[in-house]
Every structure is written in C-alpha cells, then in structure tokens.
Amino acid sequence: MRDFQLPGRSPVFATNGMCATSHPLAAKVAVQMLEAGGNAVDAALAGAVLLGVCEPQMTGIGGDLFALVSKPGEEPIALNGSGRAAAGTSAQALRDEFGTMPEHGPHSVTIPAAVDAICRLSEDHGRLGLGDILAPALHYAEAGVPVAPRVAFDWARVHHLGEAARRQLMPNGAPPEPGSLYRAPGMAEVLRRIAVDGRDAFYEGEVAEDMVGALQALGGPQTLEDFAAARSEYTTPISAAHEGHDLVEHPPNGQGAAALLMLNILQRLDIAGLDPFGAERAHLEAEAAKLAYDARNRFLADADHMTRLDHLLSSETADRLAALIRPDAVLPAGLEPAGAVHKDTVLITVVDRDRTSVSLIYSIFHSFGSGIATDKFGLLLHNRGAGFTLEDGHANEAGPGKRPMHTILPALLRKEGETVMPFGVMGGQYQAAGHARFVTNLLDFGLSPQEAIDAPRVFPTGGQLQVERGYPETVRKALADLGHDVITPDVPVGGAQAIAIRPDGMLEGASDPRKDGCALGY
C-alpha cells in the first residue's frame, strides 16, 4: 500500500469493465460505451478517436493504429493499421534531395491507415456500429474540449507547423493555455461522413482529395490511388516467456521484437535481487536497451522485407548480447538508435464484462505529425515515413508501398493461456524499453501495476542517459561514475496504462501521472 502522506495515485478497482488512458474524457466515454452494451473493442475505438480531439498533438485520424484484441479462451488477435509509402516514393531521389530521411513535410507522410483499422475492428469485433463509436468524438470536435495541462505543455514546444496547421492549431497566433477550448469542426465533418459511408469516405472522394492536394502542393508523391489502396491487416502476435508469464507483442513493422529481446537479455542478468530503484539495475537496463535497439535498427523493417525476426527472438542472440554487458562499465559509443524517433502517441486499454481485453495504440508520431494540415478539413497528417532509413540496401530503406519501422506497440501479459493484463507504454523510441521495464517491475520486483508505472525511468538515447528526477542524486552520481553521460530529460520519459485482471476476477486499473488521464471503471 502506498504512503498516503506522499503524492501518488491509488489503483482503481471495478468489477464490470474498465478503461485506462491518457485523458479522463476518453476514459469516461469508453466506460459509457461499456455501460451502453458495447464491448471492449467498441469502447477502445470510441475513446481512441476522441483522443484525437483531446490530444491532437499525439494522435488523430491522419495517423496509424496498432491493436491487440484478446478474448477469453482464444489466441490474441493483432491488427496492423500502419500505412505504406506512396507508390512514387524513391529512396534515391530522397537521398539526392535531402541526404537523410526528412522528419517533417510531405515526404515524411505515409498513407494513414488508422481509419481503415478503426472501421475494420468495428465491423469484425465490435457490437455497436460506427455511428455510435464515432458520435462522442464528433460531438466534442464541434463543441470543443478544454486543453489539459500536459497537452498545453506539449503544444507550446512545437515549431514546425505549416500555414494550414497554424490556422487550425494556433488561431490566435499562440499555443492555447490550459483550460482554453479547442475545436476541430473539419474533423467533425469527416467523422460524420465516415459514420455514414465507412472507410471510403476517408480514402476516396472529397476528403482524400483534400489530403492529396495538400501533399502534392508541397511536392509530395502521394496520389488518390495510394489513398484508395490503403488497408490494415491482421498479423500473428509474437511473445516471450518471463517468470511464468508471456509478454505478447505486435510483430514487425512494430518494434515488439526489440521489447522481447530486451526482456530476454534482462532475464540473463539476474536483476531480481537488485534494488529496483538503485543504480545497478538502472545501469544494466540501460545497457540492455542499447543492445536491443542496436539489433532493432539493424534488422527491423516491414514484415514483407524483414528476414531476421527469428534472430531477434532467439535465445542464442540474448545469450551473446547479455554476455557483452559489464556491471562496472558502459558499452562503447556507436550503438545509437537510427531513424527518427519521438514521443507522441496515445495508448488506450479496455477490459469489458466478458473479460475481452484490448490494448490499442494510435499515433501521428512527432508532435502534430508532419506539421501538415489539409486546407478544407484541417486534418493533421502524421510523419511515420520519418521511421524509414535512406541507407542503401537496408531492409527498412524507404521504398514504394513499404511500411516504415514503427515505434508504437500495444502489449498483453498472459498467464497459462489467458490474458491477465492488457497494457502499453507510450513514448516513441522508449516504448520497447518501457515494456521490458514495466514487466520486470511487476514480475521481478513485485510492484503493483500503479507502482510499476509510477516508478522513475531511465533511457539511453543520443549518447546520453536520460534519468528522470524521481531518482535521487546518489543514483545519478553512481551512474555518472560508471561512465554514463547523465542528463535530466526536458519531458517525462514515456507514459503507461494498464488493467490487471486479478485471479479473483476484480479489475485493477493503473494510469501514468506523467499524462493527464486516469483509469475508470464501473
């Protein structure tokens, strides 16, 4: 039990259904869907689409979506709603013009696949129709949502918006203050059309023309044919065993394999006997992350082009990498993650009365994505193409019809063939490391879900070790003495949401205080 004299959060308990996500209004809407007879899929979709209004810097219908759906007695279902590069994409032309993959602008935009994924999940696994699912987001896009504190914090840090995006997002010429009202009437109109005509209302006709026109005006290669061809697809989840449980992840092009590799490395380092908040555990975790991410960057790509998944998941690979880690020294420089990575994503997890679980992650990548908004409807387009590399011959090299390496990944924790916890950790590149840390917090150190989320975080990036202020100065000094270049990050390291399905049937929700959201149940 937590110390009630110290700031913190209590877990949320409920018997019927629950949602945990990064904005309270989305959690409320998801629970309302459950109360109205919808299932976990309906609730997760309704809450996720609303998050595009509540947290427009993080997500929206101009982005991508990954989901894991777990029904009692069945194997989990994975849906990959990540978009492909335009047919006219040329790595050589991009090398000639930019040298490295652009992080913003029209060449960073792959065809957004979230809307197709939303429609497909609703039709295949939901109980309610699209109209019911989209109605809350439609309403709030028109009526407006008060800007939450963390959203305002992120909003004020953005400097790459194009003209149409500035009109939509900064109508008064400045970022909104907390508590001011944000409206997106153009998005409301698009949602209204999708509710009536399904995915075709987004990928064909006037809405698609608006997106293609905005991109082509800036020199982008995208065409109406590219948008019409966009499709999500079902895939087979991957997993790794740890302490009597199985961590279930999305396969490539998501970075789930990196999370599993890092967990497998940590298994070999006997961390359970260490202080969970001490320097030694933080050091070993940072070194494991460097190695897992280096392997990710060498091999991870679109599943249609990747040939080394078995290598990433093998015991021999984990053995060899773990043997490189020294408790008294840092790994040499040069193991730095490649490709553009960032921290702007939302995660929603839901469990319903029947104990169907959903972990769904939904993103426009960098804060406000590519910085491009369309002229007519004001739709923000993501910049997932920034996840490609321009290295000649690399499996993740940009190319026509390819999906880039994706940082976003939902997760499930399973035991004896049943899901016991849908969860996810936001934070762009951090997500794979965050999954491994969350699972070891739970299973190696015995923390509760909320304690596991609240715990301070470290993450190696750019040759430095980000150490959150939750660590004491003694730990920071010990890490520096080992050779780490210790810094305090400007923003929190990631964010997480989780719902435990306890053996007694009770639901226990946990939500990250680094975000504005909460867990709610009924």
Which residue in this structure is represented by tokens 């989990």?
Answer: 76
CA distance 106 to 214: 9
For residue 208, give the DSSP letter.
H
CA-based nearest residue to 222, from 379, 113, 115, 106: 106
Q: Residue 238 carries which side chain, given as an amino acid letter?
A: I
CA-based nearest residue to 115, from 64, 48, 54: 64
CA-based nearest residue to 210, from 189, 195, 232, 182: 189
Give how far Cα 459 sits from Cα of 134, 168, 260, 361, Å: 37, 34, 17, 21
Check 21, 110, 345, 374 and give the catalytic one.
345
Task: Measure the CA angle with vertex 67, ends 61 and 73; round to 5°.
Answer: 150
* Cβ–Cβ < 8 Å for 293, 432: yes
CA distance 283 to 479: 7
Three-class DSSP category at 322: helix
Catalytic residue list contains 345 = yes
Task: Report the Cα 393 to chain-centroid distance in Å.
Answer: 27
Q: Residue 87 carries which side chain, given as an amino acid letter?
A: A
Q: Which residues are catalytic?
A: 345
